């Protein structure tokens, strides 16, 4: 059940891998080359952080993989004032749960986003934060069946467990978990992320590439 007490402002966690050529945006590397794909990834991370800071200044953390040691992450912390944290866990669900647990202990709602959705704006983040004032969870589904944002105001049993990450069934299975836990949630309109060559073409077509690489 949702508490009637006012909730504090939501914080934002951005999840990102280090921009190592050959290790990120591998499905785009065949088109762009490994170095250019890594540069695109770095631009997407910076764009996500900039969006998060516009929405929730001072409440942004960057969850880094494989750890916080890459110099890129230090530059992001300096530029955006984001707190660096290492990702921990064997799969995405475990890594997200690890990031949410401190917020749950402090009773602070948390929004988690990746760095693959430049269509996500500060207005989306602000709307998601407002939703957590009286909902247990909020999501921005992805057009491919996953989600580009998850926000939780409290722990929800099973929400990150036994999810087929990276498939079109992620959001469907997540809804099943939410219903089983009798959680209240809302969904904002779906958005798209950048992963495949068609997505890169869309990034160019919608005028976002220059913004990401700026």
- pLDDT greater than 80 at residue 5: no
- pLDDT greater than 90 at residue 2: no
Cβ neighbours for 25, distance < 8 A, ≥ 6 positions apart: 32, 37, 38, 40, 41, 194, 195
- pLDDT greater than 90 at residue 124: yes
Relative to beta strand 11-17, strand 83-86 is unpaired
Q: What is the pTM of this model?
A: 0.95
**Percent of the chain, pLDDT > 70?**
97
Phi first, then psi: give them for residue 44, nearest 5 degrees: -65, -40
Q: Residue 3: its pLDDT value, please? A: 47
Superfamily of domain 11-207: Spore Coat Polysaccharide Biosynthesis Protein SpsA; Chain A (3.90.550.10)
pLDDT band per the 50, 70, 90 thresholds, residue 58: confident
- pLDDT greater than 70 at residue 4: no
Q: Residue 214: its pLDDT value, please? A: 85
Domain boundaries, the chain: 11-207
Tens-place pLDDT, residues 73-119: 999 999 999 999 999 999 999 999 999 999 999 999 999 999 999 99
- pLDDT greater than 60 at residue 1: no
Q: Residue 6: its pLDDT value, please? A: 65
């Amino acid at each position: 059940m949702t508490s009637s007490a006012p909730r504090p402002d939501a914080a934002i966690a951005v999840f990102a891998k280090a921009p190592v050529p050959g290790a990120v945006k591998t499905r785009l590397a065949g088109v762009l080359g490994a170095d250019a794909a890594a540069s695109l990834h770095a631009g997407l991370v910076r764009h996500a952080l900039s969006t998060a800071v516009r929405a929730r200044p001072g409440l942004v953390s960057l969850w880094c993989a494989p750890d916080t040691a890459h110099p890129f992450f230090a530059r992001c912390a300096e530029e955006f004032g984001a707190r660096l944290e290492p990702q921990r866990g064997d799969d995405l669900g475990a890594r997200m749960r690890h990031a949410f647990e401190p917020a749950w202990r402090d009773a602070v709602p948390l929004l988690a986003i990746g760095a693959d959705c430049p269509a996500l704006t500060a207005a989306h983040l602000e709307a998601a934060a407002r939703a957590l004032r009286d909902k247990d969870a909020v999501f921005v589904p992805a057009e491919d069946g996953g989600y580009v944002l998850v926000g939780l105001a409290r722990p929800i049993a099973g929400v990150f467990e036994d999810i087929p990450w990276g498939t079109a069934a992620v959001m469907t299975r997540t809804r099943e978990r939410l219903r089983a836990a009798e959680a209240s949630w809302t969904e904002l309109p779906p958005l798209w992320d950048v992963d495949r060559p068609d997505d890169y073409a869309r990034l160019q077509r919608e005028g976002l590439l220059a913004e990401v690489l700026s």
